[in-house]
Amino acid sequence: MPFKVGIIGGSGLEDPQFFKDAKEVQVTTPYGKPSDSFIEGTIGDVPCILLARHGRQHTIMPSDVNFRANLWGMHSLGASVIIASIACGSLQENVKPGELVFPDSVFDRTTGRKSTFFDGTNPDAPGVCHIQMHPVYNEKLRKVILMMTAIDLKLKFHDGGFGICIEGPRYSSRAESRVFRSWGASIINMTMMPECCLAKELGIPYATTALVTDYDCWKDDEQVSMELVMRTFKENSSKAKNLFIEAVKRIAKEDWKTEILTAKVYHVFQIFSF
């Protein structure tokens, strides 16, 4: 199967014009329907697969995203590596709206989301998988690809830090926001989990780009509003598109055999079946 780059977008990347030779592909999975049709095409002659996490019309709230179907669909279409984007709020003064964060870990505060393929419902995923979550993201994708591309594009970004993933769809209370901030978290978001751990279960190298839209609600002099979030969101969308277009080209120049083999072997040794 040819090398393909999977792209999961929550930040305006769902435009089919993002690709050349774009075509829609419907995928049926053992875990139900993905968020939308997959879009297959090329960026600079590199085969890619695109999926809009919330649907192309953004009709799916975070709690209802079928992360398992989304990742299984990517896997079944042959995604070799996955890069993703998320919108987020900032929990630290120095992480400003309009900037990017390449997180290196995550703190899961979601409730009740389906976070494993190995739940006994799919004969193609037998046993129990106790996947290890350090490191959360593939460091080659995070540092060599995404960060170096951001440097080339002269984008303001932050290296590392962890994100809090909340259930949503509501925003945090001020008490919650200040507690999360006191824990040292850099950003807060509603879709970081369980996407990253599901990619690990499938043995697919994965990394995400966080696009900062606001300061959450911990600041006395700033309030979160949908107007502010959407305005910054639109500004960030063009940054994300440019970043991912160039990142895909950079990915294609690297040798991923070792990374992919390591991820798949690591995944196999976390599965217990009796």
Per residue in 111-158, pLDDT tens?
Answer: 999 999 999 999 988 888 899 899 999 999 999 999 999 999 999 999
> Buried (b) or exposed (e) across 9-38, using 16+ Cβ within 10 A?
bbbbbbeeebbeeeeeeebebebeebbbbb
Q: Is the peptide bond before 2 cis (omega within 30 degrees of 0)?
A: no
Q: What is the pLDDT of residue 255?
A: 93
pLDDT digits (tens, 9 = 90+) for 63-94: 999 999 999 999 999 999 999 999 999 999 99
Residue 266 confidence class, pLDDT cut points 50, 70, 90:
low
Residue 214 annotated as part of some ligand binding site: yes
pLDDT of 13 above 60 = no
Question: Which range marks the domain in which residue 49 is found?
Answer: 5-272
Residues ≥6 apart with Cβ < 8 Å to 58: 52
CATH number for the domain that contains residue 239: 3.40.50.1580
- Over the stretch 177-204, which tens digit does the pLDDT of each residue have? 999 999 999 999 999 999 999 999 999 9
pLDDT of residue 16 exceeding 80, the answer is no
CB atoms < 10 A from the CB of 183, how many?
11
Q: Is 191 annotated as a binding residue?
A: yes
159, 214, 220, 221: the catalytic one is: 214
pLDDT at residue 227, rounded to an integer: 74
Tally of CB atoms within 10 A around 139: 13
Contact 209, 85 (CB under 8 A): yes
74 annotated as a binding-site residue: no
At 39-62, the pLDDT tens digits run: 999 998 999 999 999 998 889 999
The mean predicted confidence, pLDDT, of the chain is 91
Q: Is the pLDDT of residue 210 over 70?
A: yes
Contact 103, 85 (CB under 8 A): no
* Token pair belonging to 274: 């009796």
Active-site residue (options: 124, 159, 216, 255): 216
Residues found in the chain: 274
180: Cβ contacts below 8 Å, ≥ 6 apart: 91, 164, 172, 188, 216
214 catalytic? Reply is yes
Q: Give the residue from 205, 209, 214, 193 showing the smallest Cα distance to 241.
A: 209
Residue 190 labelled as part of a binding site: yes
Contact 239, 157 (CB under 8 A): no
Percent pLDDT > 70 in the chain is 91
Number of H helices, E strands in the chain: 7, 13
For the chain, the domain total comes to 1
E strand map for 110-262: 128-129, 157-159, 162-166, 187-189, 206-214
Q: What are phi and psi of 130, to 5 degrees?
A: -100, 75
Phi, psi of 216 (to 5 degrees): 55, -135
Active site residue 216: yes
Q: Is 208 in contact with 196 (CB distance < 8 Å)?
A: yes
